[in-house]
Structure 1
Amino acid sequence: MSQNKINPVLKSTLELGPVLGFFVAYLWLKDERYTLSGVAYDGFIIVTAAFIPIFLLAMGALWWLTGKLSKMQAVTAVMIVIFGGLTFWLNDERFIKVKPTLVYLVFGGLLGLGLLRGQSWLQMVMEELMPLKDEGWMILTRRFMWFFFAMAAANEAIWRTQSTETWVYLETFGFPVAVFVFFMVQSKLFSDYALEEESPQNDP
């Protein structure tokens, strides 16, 4: 399915808006408690439950406007529904906290499986964004695999040893910054393995 062009600001709003909204709502309601059907819920649980339909609406709008969702966005949406739903249903915040760990493990495991088959599955997803030689894709895929595993380990260490508020700050800002820095560190690889543009040949 071809991807339609949309306003970059609107695209960023749909992608980042729900996460930033979750962060703001958490800061607002983190110290509150609510009773629903005789069950007491912390503000974090309520914010998590509200985040699920908002995120799905944003992803649905993005899909409708662009005609496409990335595999990463689709997997993330499924994980949010499952673990966000379990968080509210069982009134246990550990489920939503472990969600990033499993997402990173899934992505890292899939990239590792592709490498074992001698393939860069990352290339299949991102080739249009970053045209690289096959060797470059294999190196980048290997680095991404280890990066995802490292992020999974970091998330586990953080939510198990730090407060919920610390985890929310890192999930909202720390991990995205880590992804940005990771991409910046790969600039030499992008330069060394970039595909050279074919120069037009003049007819004799």
Structure 2
Amino acid sequence: MTDEKRLPPLLKLVLELGPLALFFLGNAYGDRFGFAEDHRIFAATGIFIVATVIALGISYALTRKLPIMPLVSGIVVVVFGGLTLFLQDETFIKLKPTIVNTMFGFVLLGGLYFRKPLLQIVLDSMFELDEAGWRKLTLRWALFFFALAALNEIVWRTQTTDFWVSFKVFGIMPLTIAFALAQTPLLLKHEIKKPGEV
């Protein structure tokens, strides 16, 4: 039986954040490549779709599997990004974070309802927690995903496209990191100790 291949943490981070960074750069500097100011978001969306597909391809080529959350997010990027380009309507790409986060929230809550904390499936290679720990962590992440979805709705409906793109890149990621770090006490409290560990 072969060991499961894993990406080095830095490469994993680049593959997950790279398409988002290119999306931001495409929107910020699209006019330098001949796109009118009100069409930069479409150039950025095209770049985002291509970069996302390439990142998923590289991840699969190196590990022979696709992580669930980036795969679902990637599918939504392609579908809603494609609608954005086809219909020339930026609303669809702006709805993508709302849809993905709401979907993740409902999937996690559904797993809890059926007594299957699905977050354990996604993260059990990183943490070993007792059953109560997985339940609490899953509920917290589900609520956080709903909060992100609501926040995205508020921002894209009340702010400019440029502000929304900046928020998507420089707002959501720091919020997610801060939330993840805030779960450290729960992780420490419910961690399953290996024999010999104190």
TM-score by length of 1: 0.88
Gaps of 5+ in 2: none
Tell me how far apart the structure 2 counterparts of residues 142 and 12 of structure 1 sit (CA, whole Å): 25
Q: Which runs of 5+ in 1 are unaligned?
A: 36-40
Q: Deviations over 1:57-98 (max 9, x none)?
A: 111011111222211011001000100000000000000000
Query: Among residues 85, 95, 98, which one is paired with 2:95 in the alignment?
Result: 98
Look up the match of 1:192: 189
Q: Counterpart in 1 of 2:154?
A: 157
What is the Cα deviation at residue 2 of structure 1? 5.6
The alpha-carbon distance between structure 1 residues 31 and 156, as it changes in their structure 2 partners (threshold 3 A), is farther
2:118 to 91, 116, 121: 121
AA of the residue aligned to 2:117 = S
Which residue identity lines up with residue 65 of structure 2 in the other structure?
K
Q: CA offsets per residue over residues 30-55 of structure 1, 9 Å max, x none?
A: 588749xxxxx711112212221121
Deviations 1:114-151 (A, max 9, x none): 11112211111111111111100000111111111111
Q: 1:2 to 1:45 in 2, by over 3 A?
A: farther
- The counterpart of 2:81, out of the listed 59, 84, 91, is 84
1:145 aligns with 2:146: no
Identity fraction in percent: 36
| Number of residue equivalences | 196
Indicate the residue corresponding to 1:23 in structure 2: 24
Map 1:36-115 → 2, pairs under 5 A: 42-115=39-112
| CA gap 1:88/1:2 in 2 versus in 1, 3 angstroms | farther
TM-score (norm 2): 0.91
- Structure with bigger helix share is 2
The question of whether the paired residues in 1 share the 8 Å contact of 2:105 and 2:142 is answered with yes
CA distance in 2, matches of 1:187, 1:30: 43
